[in-house]
Amino acid sequence: MSQLNCMNISENEPKEAFLDRCYDVFENNFYNRNESLVYNNKIISLQAGFTGGKSNLFLHISSLERGEAFDILPCNNTLYNSICKLNCIDGDWTYTDHTGIRDICIYRAGFVGLIKGIIHLANDNDNKVKQWQEYNKKTGKKKSFVRYTDGTIDYIIILSEGKYKYYVISAYPVFYYKAKKEFERSYLKNK
């Protein structure tokens, strides 16, 4: 499979239009009746719920927790930064979910098109994808982690495993050094 790429954006594209384009890709990947997204022989399902006509999961993976502190912006040196205008700092464009207020992040939204390709690579055991599970003894639940790394892209998909299907918990670009190290430790411990 060819290298996976984030969605293209132009400097003149309004951020709302770009978010709508990202959502169209997300919808096609997860709500396509002709082709279900499957991981380890189980369908990947989404938790129900919509806000403003968009899936709550899409809005979650396209946003950051309110109050995140950055030494350097994740979208630094990208075109995403040119249309976002520091929303992750100013918080002018928000979404509220069960975790609280979240700031919409154009950079994170630009990665949603990778999810389907990463799952296909994981099913093919591609060497750019690391896969592992963690078991929570208290809840008795398993989480599956699917991490794609290639060049400048480092992306994690976190799934909750049910009896017959997986549910997407979250998916996002891994840009914090500490998070990269924690995922690597978890992979080495649980692979």
Digit-coded pLDDT (tens) for 77-130: 666 766 776 656 666 777 777 777 888 888 889 999 999 999 999 999 999 999
User: How many folded domains does the chain comprise?
Assistant: 1
1 lies in some domain = no
- pLDDT tens digits, 4-17: 778 888 778 888 89
Residue 25 falls inside a structural domain: yes
Q: List, in sequence order, every beta strand (DSSP E) within the chain.
A: 38-39, 42-45, 50-51, 54-55, 63-65, 94-97, 100-104, 129-136, 141-150, 153-161, 165-173
For 10, list phi and psi in degrees, rounded to 5. -110, 155
pLDDT at res. 1: 47
Does any domain span residue 6?
A: no
pLDDT tens for each residue of 28-65: 888 776 778 899 999 998 777 888 888 889 998 998 88
pLDDT value of residue 131: 97
Residue closest to 89 by CA, chosen among 110, 79, 99, 74: 74
Domain containing 28: what range?
15-190
pLDDT greater at residue 179 or residue 94:
179
Q: What angle do CA 23, 29, 30 make, to 5 degrees?
A: 90
